[in-house]
Structures are given as C-alpha cells and as structure tokens.
Amino acid sequence: MALNGLLDIQISVPNPQELFEFWLQHGMNATADGVLGTPDRPVQMNLAEAPYRHLSSMHLSCENESDIAAIAKRLTDAGVTSTFDSTTLRCVDPIFGHAIVIDVGSPHPLTPTQSRAFNGPGQQNRIDTRADAVLHTESPIVRRIGHVVLGTPHLVEATDFYLNVLGYRVSDQIMKGFATFMRVESDHHNLMIQPGPTSYLNHYAVEVDDIDAVGLAGTSALKDERVSSIIGVGRHNLGANVFWYLRDPSGNMFEFFSDMDQIIDEKGWDRDHCRLDWEGEDGPAGFSVWGPKDPPEEFFAPSDIPAIVAGRQASGLK
Ligand SMILES: [Fe+2]
C-alpha cells in the first residue's frame, strides 16, 4: 500500500470568511484564521480567496519514504513536474489544476462514535427516556472530511492520473468505467471522478456520527437561508453511505454522510465485490437504495458552471 490518507483539503471561494463562519456554526472548529478542524483532526479544510469556487489543494499521506520516490517516478514518467524530499512531495494536478501535497504519515485516528441506544422489536435498549436525537439541541459535531467528488470532461486522463500515477485504489466503476469510486483509506471512496461540463468540484463530504446526525446536521444547516437542500436523505448503493446533499453559502455542494462501507481486506473486496461494469439506474448501480431515486440536474450541472469555466480560462486552465 502506498497512499493511506486524505489529510485535508483547501477550497477557494470569493468570500472565504462567509464559509468559515458557516462551518463554525455547523460543527467544525477554528484552528486558525481560515483553517477548520474537528475534535480529532485540527486541520480538515483550509479556505482561501479566489474569483471562482474550486478545490485548490488536496493533502494526502503515504506510508513511507519509498512511496514518495515511487510516486515521484510515476509523475515524471507521466510528464508531470514534481518537487520532493524524503518526506514530502508536491505537484499540480494536470487536469483540475489544484495543488497535491503528499506527506509520509497517516490521518489521526478517530475517536469511536458513542452509539445511540435504539429500541427494536424485542429490544428495549432505551427505556424511560426520550431518544438522544430528540434531546439534541446543537448541530452535530463534524468528524472529518471523508471524500471529494470531481466532475470533468477529461475522464480518461483524470481517472488514469489518480489510479495509475498517484496510486488511488479502485472500489467500483459505473457508466462503463466513466465514473470511478476510488480510495486511499478503508472508506469505499475518498475520491470519485465523474463526468462534468468542465473540471470542477462536484462536492466535498463531511462525515458525522450516524443517520440521526446526518438528519440533524442537514436540518440545522437549512436554518441558514443561504443554504439549500439538493437531495437527501437517502442511502447510496455503492459505498452504502447515508447521504444528504446541500449547497453551502459559497455555492459548493457538500454532503453530510455516515456509515460508509469499509474495505480492509483489499484482495477480498476486489474478488467478491468490486465491479468495473456496473450499469443501469436500478439495482446496485442506482443512486439510492432508499430515499430520492434520481438527483436533480443541478447535482451534475450546477448553475454557476459558466463562472467556473470563465475562472478556469482566466487562470489558463483547460
Ligand atoms: Fe459523496
């Protein structure tokens, strides 16, 4: 194994202070000005200023120094310039244009979720009190940034870069290989590359404790009139995570999620579960097991795409 963690991301928007303050009110902590963290991980999302919204940095970890050398060689072979020493590698994504930083290390372990007590037929786990979710008064704590999804018209090039050059591992592919779920951790996906009208950040995903936390977090976020719901609540097929997608005050789609498939036995997953030919809108390749069946048009083609195209052109990006 080489890559082993998504450490943090940087998102650039025209008004980063607005987004910073939003997340302070909805489950994240201020580590420094423009730096958001969680109780376990002080740095999860950096916010910077730019004329248009986009992912501007992806910070990964890898197991050891030989991984850095191997990735650097693959970058050179692919014609991508990088700088590196024994513990850190830096390059620029050749399709999207964001910075990529890879450090030897690993993500800080997460404190396990304290399970809520659920009642069921023949199971009285919560007696003589109301449910924890009912008694909840604050926005749930955010646990970490779990993944990002990127849309692009340059699918083959982008997918090849992440799988074969950087070394992400494929978990599933749909749409005849056009959309790829890939991971660097045990999560079913830390990154997905899918079709898009331009190269852009489709969404960033914020992990919370459980299905109640997804519902509570989304409900709390919607009290901010700048936030809108896009689709949710439901449970995805591939990855199996509970989801609720919303639009943040800066126009980025984000996802509150919980309960994603975890892949520890990689050979077993490849042998028994991974498929590169999922098709169709029903069954395992469909958007949801339960909940809304089909995402709206804005899920794939947000209304601010022209501004992103103009911003990329002004920055010399294709
Ligand atoms: Fe997601």
Q: What's the gap in Å between 69 CA and the centre of ligand 1?
A: 31
Distance between first and last Cα of the chain: 32
* CATH (domain of 289): 3.10.180.10
Domain count along the chain? 1
Centre of ligand 1 from the C-alpha of residue 222, in Å:
19
For residue 84, tell me if it sits in a domain. Answer: yes
Find the 32 Cα to ligand 1 centroid distance in Å: 27
* 10 in a structural domain: yes
pTM (2 decimals)?
Answer: 0.96
Q: Residues within 5 Å of ion ligand 1 by Cβ?
A: 205, 255
Residue 128 falls inside a structural domain: no
CA atoms within 13 A of residue 188's CA, in its CB half-sphere? 20
Pairing outcome for strands 3-13 and 45-49: parallel
Query: Which structural domain, as residue segments, surrounds residue 190?
Result: 3-108+140-314
* pLDDT means over runs of 10, the chain (318 residues): 93 98 97 97 98 98 97 98 97 98 97 92 96 90 98 96 97 86 97 96 98 97 97 96 98 98 93 82 80 93 96 95
> Considering the domain boundaries, does residue 121 fall inside one?
no
Q: How far is the C-alpha of 220 from the C-alpha of 218, rounded, in Å? A: 5
**Which pLDDT belongs to residue 276?**
83
Tell me, what amino acid is at 244? W
Q: Is residue 113 part of a domain?
A: no
In a domain? residue 132: no
288 domain-assigned: yes
Of 57, 54, 63, the C-alpha closest to 44 is 57
Residue 81 domain-assigned (yes or no): yes
Q: How far is the CA of 205 from the centre of ligand 1 (A)?
A: 5
How far, in Å, is the centroid of ligand 1 from the Cα of 129?
A: 34
